[in-house]
Amino acid sequence: MARGGCFYLITCRKMTAPDLPDSFNMLSAFLSEDEHYRASSQAYGDRGIQGLNDALYLFLEHPELGFVWMAYDDADVVGICVVCLAVSTSMGALVAKLDDVSVKTDRRGEGIGTVLIKALKEQLSKEFVTRIDVAVHVQNPKARAFYERLEFQPLNEERLACVI
């Protein structure tokens, strides 16, 4: 990746306990700033900062549920996403649900999101996960185009939520 005449190597890995502050800051910014997330957050049952904090600790305490995937350059975390694992009855295998994909605002357009998702696909394949599902807000054509470039296919379904 080139930035300001410098080249940065983007590396990706799962969140560990020392990454909590970076993860919290990136995801907190995404959840508070993303207009598409905010438009649906009430239906999701968004619990704000407390919900995010609880989720990050759940991932650390129960890695079988999923993980936070992080992209780093030489200096800092530059991208992040949340991966939850489930069993697909149609595939008879593990699948991943991808949420909260975000690249730092000042780093967008540099290919970081592409590196993040391609590295995630490689990691999930090693873990015998056979599919990644992602939801895209109907008024976010840029996100839809991004995922389609990375070989995601539309399912012609609408996602619904019920907080219990």
Task: Evaluate whether residue 126 is within a structural domain.
Answer: yes
Number of domains making up the chain: 1
pLDDT at 43: 83
Residue 131 lies in a domain: yes
Per residue in 71-104, pLDDT tens?
999 879 999 999 999 999 999 999 999 999 999 9
Predicted pLDDT of residue 59: 97
Q: Which domain holds residue 72?
A: 12-149
What average pLDDT score do residues 136-162 get? 89
Question: What are the backbone dihedrals phi and psi of residue 79, each rounded to the nearest 5 degrees, phi first?
Answer: -155, 160
pLDDT value at residue 73: 94
Whether 84 and 99 have beta carbons less than 8 Å apart is answered as: yes
For residue 4, the model assigns a pLDDT of 54
Predicted pLDDT at 5:
52
DSSP notation for 2-67: EETTEE---EEEE--GGGHHHHHHHHHHHHHH-HHHHHHHHHHT--HHHHHHHHHHHHHH-GGGEE
What pLDDT shows up at residue 2? 53
Domain-located, residue 6: no
**What pLDDT was estimated at residue 12?**
97
Residue 123 included in any domain: yes
CB 66 within 8 A of CB 83: yes
Mean of the per-residue pLDDT values for the chain? 91
Residue 35: inside a domain, yes or no? Answer: yes
Query: Does any domain span residue 154?
Result: no
In a domain, 53, yes or no: yes
**CA–CA–CA angle 102, 64, 24 (5° rounding):** 35
User: pTM of the entire structure?
Assistant: 0.89
Ramachandran quadrant class, 41 (left: phi over 0; alpha: psi -120 to 50; beta: rest): alpha
Question: Is 45 a member of any domain?
Answer: yes
Give 77's strand partners: 72
Look up the CATH number of the domain holding residue 45. Answer: 3.40.630.30
What number is the average pLDDT over the span 156-163?
A: 83
SS3 76: coil
pLDDT for the residue numbered 34: 82
Q: Please write the tens of the pLDDT for every residue from 31-72.
A: 888 888 888 888 888 899 999 999 999 999 999 999 999 999
